[in-house]
């Protein structure tokens, strides 16, 4: 009984140590509680123990190999848990419920994606606003963009956008939207974005979900123009100056993100 208790205490201690080390290595890429870190450390400890048991008698390098495996497994679990919890933090509910809650840090409304309701024509600036909003969500804590909803919550639908794409239907709207986003923020950033459609008050509304990105997402406003970093702050999207962008990226993703940024 004493031996079993001692083994449990040692396992918890190793889990705590590995969890702390994994958090220190990953820095701001994970924002998990200490209990989550201990769970990840315990899983890493189990993986290291399996390697040590399988290679018993293999030589003096085995403890180092087992330790490396334990740390790698801990970090992998931490990253997986962070992604899972980030998904859980995304706003939930039906489109009417999201609209009733108004614009927040995680929810934004846009009345259209291409159509300017003042000039009644296609407007590239409207398209860039869509890309800017999604880049801001990716660079912050994620969020949902509702296209076809005015700032005051009025349902406008995306029907006015349909004549401005190849064919007036949802499939071609999504195809155009993804192509536009790839051109503005890059294919890697777009891979995590999800697009859904729903009918509210007999209008088509497009719901675009953008989870927190693992690397900074820069937006290119136009050909030959410098890239810009946008971040969701409160219920608005803010452009960061060069000094602010460098500091934000280092704090949010670590200095390594500055050496290997994702650009379009």
How do residues 187-223 score in pLDDT, each as one tens digit? Answer: 999 998 999 999 999 999 999 999 988 889 999 887 7
Q: What is the pLDDT of residue 17?
A: 78
pTM, full prediction: 0.72
- Quickly name the fold that domain 95-259 has: 3.30.950
In terms of DSSP bridges, do strands 228-233 and 236-240 run parallel, antiparallel, or are they unpaired?
Answer: antiparallel
Q: Kindly give the parts of the chain with pLDDT less than 70.
A: 1-11, 15, 23, 27-34, 53-63, 85-90, 255-264
Whole-angstrom distance, CA of residue 24 vs CA of residue 41:
13
Helix (H, G, I), strand (E, B) or coil at 212: coil
Helix (H, G, I), strand (E, B) or coil at 171: helix
Q: What is the pLDDT of residue 36?
A: 76
Which of 204-224 are b and which e, b meaning 16 or more Cβ less than 10 Å from the residue's Cβ?
bbbbbbbbbbbbbbbbbeeee
Q: What is the pLDDT of residue 261?
A: 54
Query: What separation, in Å, do the N-terminal and C-terminal C-alpha atoms of the chain show?
Result: 60
Query: Which part of the chain has CATH 3.30.950.30?
Result: 95-259
């Amino acid at each position: 009984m004493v031996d079993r208790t001692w083994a449990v205490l040692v396992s918890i201690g190793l889990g705590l140590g590995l969890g702390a080390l994994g958090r220190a290595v990953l820095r701001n890429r994970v924002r998990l509680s200490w209990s989550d870190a201990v769970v990840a450390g315990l899983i890493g400890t189990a993986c290291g123990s399996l390697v040590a048991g399988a290679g018993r008698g293999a030589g003096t390098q085995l403890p180092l190999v087992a330790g490396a495996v334990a740390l790698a497994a801990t970090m992998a679990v931490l990253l997986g848990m962070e992604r899972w919890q980030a998904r859980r933090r995304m706003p939930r509910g039906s489109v009417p419920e999201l609209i009733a809650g108004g614009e927040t840090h995680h929810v934004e409304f846009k009345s259209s994606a291409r159509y300017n309701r003042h000039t009644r024509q296609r407007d590239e600036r409207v398209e860039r606003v869509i890309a800017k909003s999604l880049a801001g969500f990716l660079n912050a804590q994620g969020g949902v963009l509702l296209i076809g909803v005015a700032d005051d919550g009025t349902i406008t639908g995306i029907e006015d956008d349909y004549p401005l794409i190849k064919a007036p239907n949802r499939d071609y709207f999504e195809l155009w939207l993804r192509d536009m986003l790839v051109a503005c923020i890059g294919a890697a950033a777009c891979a995590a974005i999800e697009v859904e459609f729903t009918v509210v008050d007999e209008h088509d509304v497009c719901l675009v979900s953008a989870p927190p990105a693992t690397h900074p997402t820069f937006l290119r406003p136009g050909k030959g123009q410098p890239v810009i970093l946008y971040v969701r702050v409160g219920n608005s999207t803010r452009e960061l100056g060069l000094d602010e962008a460098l500091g934000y990226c280092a704090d949010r993703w670590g200095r390594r993100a500055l050496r290997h940024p994702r650009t379009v």
